[in-house]
Amino acid sequence: MEISVASVTISVAVVVVSWWVWRTLQWVWFKPKMLESYLRRQGLAGTHYTPLIGDLKRNVNMLTEATSKPIKLTDDITPRLLPHPFQMLKTHGRTFFTWLGPKPTITIMEPELIKEVFNKVYDYPKAQTFLLSSLIATGIINYDEYGTCVPPELQRDVISRTAFGSSYKEGQRIFELQAELVHLILQAFWKVYIPGYRYLPTKGNRRMKTAASEIQVILRGIVNKRVRAREAGKAPNDDLLGILLESNLGQAKGNGMSTEDVMEECKLFYFAGQETTSVLLVWTIVLAHHQDWQARAREEVKQVFGDKEPDTEGLNQLKVMTMILYEVLRPYPPVTHLTRAIHKEMKLGDLTLPGGVHISLPIMLVQRDTKLWGNDAAEFKPERFKDGLSKATKSQVSFFPFAWGPRICIGQNFVMLEAKMAMALILQRFSIELSPSYVHAPQTVWVWFKPKTLERYLRRQGLAGTPYTPLVGDLKRNFSMLAEARSKPIKLTDDITPRVVPYPLQMLKTHGMVPGWHLDSSVFKTVKRFQLLYLYVVETGRTFYTWLGPIPTINIMDPEQIKEVFNKVYDFQKVHTFPLARLIAAGLVSYDGDKWAKHRRIINPAFHLEKIKNMVPAFHQSCSEIVGEWDKLVSDKESSCEVDVWPGLVSMTADVISRTAFGSSYVEGQRIFELQAELAQLIIQAFQKAFIPGYHYLPTKGNRRMKAAAREIQVILRGIVNKRLRAREAGEAPSDDLLGILLESNLGQTEGNGMSTEDVMEECKLFYFAGQETTTVLLVWTMVLLSQHQDWQARAREEVKQVFGDKEPDTEGLNQLKVMTMILYEVLRLYPPVSQLTRAIHKEMKLGDLTLPGGVHISLPIMLVQRDTELWGKDAAEFKPERFKDGLSKATKSQVSFFPFAWGQRICIGQNFALLEAKMAMALILQKFSFELSPSYVHAPDTVFTIHPQFGAPLILHKL
């Protein structure tokens, strides 16, 4: 009987498929269930196996829930960072198993068992579950050989040097690529149990391979360059790479490392060396809120170094600092657990464990265990290390942030000495306290897991946005577009939004419309499903998200949603992402909850219209002085002169604040204005590095200058406030300026409900900055636009003449200036002082039809909304004050589409002050001059906190 080729082929195929199915079933079901039975027979408790994914989904869900809200500084962080292992510890005891996909992982908490695992390095090798992680770095941390190739010199003085004798700038590309790889690998982790997934040519996998190849090329260049330099006798040998190459060349033939091996060690230097020290330093700085220990550490640093530069010998003498660093590493270890693999049946204590399981050594759980560390295990008590590690741990393996035994981290002394150097320099120059805006939210790989979880959440809501870029988000893109936009001026008739808010505008255009569709409801009238699609696009297309570092920011343009955000002040709170901004001014504008309500109640009396009316004479005096100076420049009647009005308006509004707020002249308060202007520039520069963890604590030149300027402002303001308090006690203090009214209102509160002196000073800083800045920009853009629109300038002058003639403007008359009010509103619409407001969401919230997760921001883009053609008509970009002739409500069609001073309960408390001051200034200017744009005027609106004219505002003043 003949056997056909086809039947043979089919038979072979059946055998192959059957074999593959059997292997898959063996891997996915039979082997895991066999291991589970084995472990349960040993008396171990654990979760039931879920095919393929194990506990991954459960773990991720618990982690997402735990990290969705911040915690108190005094709270235990383990339920936030290790919610699943923590729950298992409570419900299943101190030895239990969970599932890493189809692999059972046994968690052990007993020091003797942990010691045994660390000591038997060949029986308990490193777990190699996720091979893609080797793209970042392998090296000694992943090997089970090469124990003798890394020399002891690595642990001596050389650890204070750089690894490669190059600057961060030269190696910056490696850091960038490794950071990108971390996030791509973590993204791939979600699909780790899809067989062969890492071999598929997905976009992420291709990018991983490309990035890894680029790192290899850069490192090969560094290593080969150093090898050639060694051969020429010109290579340094006092950095890590030099010592490594020297040690490697000294090995017997065949026992050394290849160039590829050396490169892997270099990758490990770059990644682990930077990551470990960064997290140690940031938590040391955060825990410096224990002021007693901060003081002890500073005293020790002063005793050892004085004001001199720290050296190695002195750093090794810092006993208190060592105690503090150990105590930081105990509750905040760089990694939360270590994993080891078992490849054959092994005895571990009384347990007999099968090959194919993993052992988890939960560093954080062990180092916070009350059975090992006492009832105060969760407290920060560096004194527990005063007699050294052995005494603190009672000679048990209960402290292993750098592992333990033969495989203890070879770079631990490097890290400790680097951390001591950084802390010594910081403590020599600064004292540290937590900002009120600090949110305690330790998170494992916060730059990836949480942002990606939030991104998926938002996309499921139908929101469009940019893909997340690790750590920086859209910051780099935003700054590049802003730098490009402000590099060239625009025409007076051009829309200013592409220059002031280029990135949000581009997002609105690209994410606010379906590409290639002309959305006209008449086109879809006949087809119901197309009508629904049209409505959906119109409603959600104008809502999109961007990234402020790792935080998604949702931009909303819908007036109803904006109204809801403004109305729910306790649900949509002020954002505190960038603490340095508080150096300029905190006060009422930055507070939330009960503190905001208390301060608003106390400050309100200072801004009652009746009180502001009493300040009008001060408005007149300050404005008259500047107008008088301009008058001197234009000597004869009907003559003209070019004047840059911007500096004069800055001086005038500053003088108004000094007189009305503090009863002093601009000259007396001038230093505060200068310092606040300098701070604004420094903070904007620092904002570009805002998402480098702990950056604002580093003693950089800019940071030191910011702190010095902030301290000088505090000293001046403390002097002003204390002087006023003494005058009040002597019955000699004025009570008709803002400070006087504020102090009077504050003293009238019941005990415990008032403001502290520091709170009063913060409100004073806010008076100075916001009071001066807002009115200045309103006035300068009013003069620029009236120079361009002579018809409206003439109408405003005519109104001023009708109401005042040549007399001094007064409160009653200023309130009658209807045309002037229309003009100021239209200027505020087109040129709002700030281009956007931001609010934070700390818990899941409904906003219209959207459900938004905790941890996102809401952006209210004032400028985009106030220039939106859908809300203001096709002439939205044009200067047309007549749109306000029937008042705000009619102009906005009773929608929240005009909010230059915010809206609702948190509307700017000083808006009436700003508008009355602006009317006074414009009335005096219009009485004396007509004005037009100078040929030298360059139209370049520029954001410096508020919207400034980048090149000033030169106008031609004509004396009337």
DSSP for 824-883, written as a single string? HHHHHHHS-SSS-EEEE--S-EEETTEEE-TT-EEEE-HHHHHT-HHHH-TTTTS--GGG
Distance (Å, whole) CA 928 – CA 923: 9
Residue 830, token pair as written in the block:
């087109």
Specify the DSSP element, H or E, that contains 947: strand 946-949
Distance (Å, whole) CA 879 – CA 723: 47
In angstroms, what CA-CA distances link 745 with 20, 307, 605, 738? Answer: 81, 46, 7, 10
Q: If you search the block for the tokens 């695992």, which residue do you land on?
A: 117
3-state helix, strand, coil in the chain (%, to 5): 55, 10, 35
Contacting residues for 631 by C-beta, under 8 A, at least 6 apart: 928, 959
Distance (Å, whole) CA 929 – CA 957: 6
Residue 379, token pair as written in the block:
């407290």
Distance (Å, whole) CA 256 – CA 245: 10
The number of C-alpha atoms within 13 Å of 373 and in the hemisphere containing its C-beta is 25
Tell me the residue type at 554: I
- Count of Cβ atoms closer than 10 Å to residue 119 Cβ: 14
The 3-state DSSP class for residue 544 equals strand
Distance (Å, whole) CA 294 – CA 389: 21
Q: If you search the block for the tokens 């590309």, which residue do you land on?
A: 173
Specify the DSSP element, H or E, that contains 85: helix 83-92
The 3-state DSSP class for residue 644 equals strand
Instruction: Work out whether strand 464-465 and strand 45-46 pair parallel, antiparallel, or are unpaired.
Output: unpaired
In angstroms, what CA-CA distances link 469 with 179, 474, 550, 608? Answer: 10, 7, 8, 47
Question: What CA dihedral angle connects 486, 492, 494 and 499, to 10 degrees?
Answer: 20
- Count of Cβ atoms closer than 10 Å to residue 525 Cβ: 11
Please count the helices (runs of H) and the strands (runs of E) in the chain. 39, 20
Phi/psi of residue 800, nearest 5 degrees = -60, -40
CA-wise closest residue to 284 among 212, 334, 237: 334
For residues 645 and 780, is the Cβ–Cβ distance under 8 A? Answer: yes
In angstroms, what CA-CA distances link 717 with 127, 580, 760? Answer: 60, 19, 9
Specify the DSSP element, H or E, that contains 656: helix 645-662
Residue 620, token pair as written in the block:
């007149």
Distance (Å, whole) CA 650 – CA 780: 9
CA-wise closest residue to 557 among 147, 878, 869, 929: 869
- Count of Cβ atoms closer than 10 Å to residue 320 Cβ: 19
| 409 annotated ligand binder | no
To 5 degrees, how large is the angle CA 114–CA 116–CA 121?
105
Total number of residues shown for the chain: 960
For residues 268 and 397, is the Cβ–Cβ distance under 8 A? Answer: no
Interhelix angle 259-286/203-231, rounded to 10 degrees, is: 110
For residues 122 and 144, is the Cβ–Cβ distance under 8 A? Answer: yes
| Binding site residue list for heme | 908
| Binding site residue list | 908
